[in-house]
Amino acid sequence: MAIKYIEIKATKIERMIKSEDFKCFKKHIETVIGIKNDIYEIVIENVAYDESGLPNEEVNARVTFKNNYSKVDKIVFFRDSLGKNINRKFGRISHNNDIFNKIADIYIKNALVHELVHIKQFENGKLTIETIMDEKKLHYTDRTLEIEAENRARKIISSYGNFEEEIMKYISSKNCFTNDSMCKIEEIYLDKKTSK
């Protein structure tokens, strides 16, 4: 008999992003990061497209700007990409829906924090049309704005506890879950749950 792995559907991701919990988390992180401009919308689309018009499923979310980078317009979450990326990295979880849903929540909130860091970079004058053009010449993993956003998001999400810190190690790496790592994650999750 084949093992059936848990997977998250795009519709569930959309519900999570529209949830009151997510809105409260966003407000809290805006305060933590020190964002002054909270007048932008959250939009959900299926998938991002690159400059040539081809779908880019590696992009989970992005900030868009108005009028040639004069103002933040919105944060766009790409629900199909988020789903595929969560399922690809964490799909080996085969028996615990609670853990999988918590991991999906962390993954999506990490994407939000990453984009909020970009908004802060914009407010600080670090993210401009000029820096974007310069950074596009580099591989994504070598871009200083992306490195800062990834590191800050990892630090913020990891500050919520051992479970979040452990999940962030997987989100930030190319590694996928194995049976051994699943046992460790399950133990940390259950410890966190019983200590509440």
DSSP 8-class letter at 141: G
Rounded CA-CA distance 105/48 in Å is 20
Q: What total number of domains does the chain contain?
A: 1
- The answer to whether residue 34 is domain-embedded is yes
Q: Say whether pLDDT at 88 is over 70.
A: yes
Q: Could you read off the pLDDT of 143-180 as tens digits, one per residue?
A: 999 999 999 999 999 999 999 999 999 998 877 777 77
- Write out the residue range of the structural domain in which residue 174 sits: 10-194
pLDDT of residue 193 exceeding 80 = no
Angle, CA of 23, 25 and 26, to the nearest 5°: 65
Looking at every residue in the chain, the average pLDDT score rounds to 90
**Structural domain includes residue 4:** no
| Domain assignment of residue 1, yes or no | no
Of 47 and 37, the structure prediction assigns the larger pLDDT to: 47
Burial class (CB in 10 A: 0-12, 13-18, 19+), 181: middle
Q: Collapse the DSSP code of 139 into the 3-class scheme (helix H, G, I; strand E, B; otherwise coil) and give the result.
A: coil
3 is a domain residue: no
Straight-line distance from the first to the last Cα atom of the chain, in angstroms, rounded to the nearest whole number: 37
Indicate whether 2 belongs to any domain. no
The yes-or-no verdict on residue 195 having pLDDT over 80 is no
